[in-house]
Amino acid sequence: MNTLDLAYAAAAAVLVPVWARKARGGWAQRFGLRVGVRGRDRTRPRLLIHAVSVGETNTLRALVPMLREHADVIVSATTDTGLARATALFGPESVVRFPLDFSGAVERFLDAVDPDAVALVELEVWPNFVAQCAQRGIPVAVINGRLSAKSLTNYQRVRRLVSPTFARLSLAAVQDEPYAARFVALGTPARHVRVTGTMKWDSAELESSVLGADELAAAMGIDRSRPLVVAGSTAEGEEALVNEALRAMPEVQLLCAPRKPERFDEAARALPGCVRRSGGSRVSGASRFLLDTIGELRAAYSLADVVVVGRTFAPRRGSDPIEPVALGRATIMGPDYRNFETVTAALRDAGALMICERDQLAGALRDLLNDPARREAMARAGRACVESHRGATRRHAQMLGDLVKSAFARGTKRA
């Protein structure tokens, strides 16, 4: 046990009332026990890619198949929803739970997985994990990297503690120039930083319909002849906000999909009389629907006339707008999209989405629902914007392929 472990233990003890509110499983895996990883083929390099939750996991949809041509790829996630999504995308034999950053848990996890190289999606630079990788000669990369101005300020308060971690990164492939400057400011050597754009453009599929959408509509009783607004990845208060914004439009149906499963019951209370997807029974004539399942949001988006992106009207720093735009859906966002500034700016400038304040939402919804030509123009502009920004995934695949093959060759020589 090191000093950092003691600090983690003290923080965990103080924060027991917070993390104990949510039921969590997989404790053996969180402590690096019974990792459940498949045995490795010693003739091929092994790459571990860590994604925290659903959003980061979805980013890997196109990348993992590219990398599998050259390496054995293991995907890890932290949250239960992230693990479920990774398992659906890549198969249970390729997915493990990422450990807590206690040195013993990290050591057991690395012993079990035995990667030649590691890629961390967006950030996730845990000090014990990165330090132990460095001790073992395992290069660590950040991919699709982003580092907000707020995060930079927070990290700079403890710069002495975090700068050795950032300095150990073998590669930081980041989404834009401001992110690149922030990684360098925290200690990552400038020669290790590359601006690649975001892989989220590549993970979006340019389609109008989605497999399972018709079944979803039929199962919930959604009337395909009436307008439908889908509010996706919603946070506290946003279901009630959109519901109120549609009060003067009784012909319009509303489907809300909360970001976090633990909010499903709260969201249902904000939508009185709503049909819940988990209920398993169709209710004729309903106009309010709750998607309280995981993995069906994309299908719901494809049913929408207008999409409202959640966590943008609440102080939650936003959600990714690319998926509904790529599906050709007119999309509205609120004023807080700090985690997706570059993507949002590109789509806004292309005329592919609207940004409005809370008190403007009713008007924005009414205008778009009453103007099919404008919705179609937004759809065309959005798809063209997505297409023009593709390519980051292939760039990441090339860099990671080179990184893991080089590390594997060094390890073979040492052996």
- Residues serving a catalytic function are 56
Question: Pick from 327, 385, 379, 62: which is nearest to 207 by CA?
Answer: 327
- Residue by residue, DSSP assigns 112-152 as HH--SEEEEES----HHHHHHHHHTT--EEEEEE---HHHH
**117 touches 138 (CB < 8 A):** yes
Distance separating alpha carbons of residues 312 and 301, to the nearest angstrom: 17
Question: Pick from 355, 392, 406: which is nearest to 196 by CA?
Answer: 392
Burial grade of 113 (CB within 10 A; 0-12, 13-18, 19 or more)? buried
| Cβ neighbours for 388, distance < 8 A, ≥ 6 positions apart | none
**405 touches 70 (CB < 8 A):** yes
**292 touches 321 (CB < 8 A):** no
**387 touches 322 (CB < 8 A):** no
Give the H or E element holding residue 95: strand 95-97
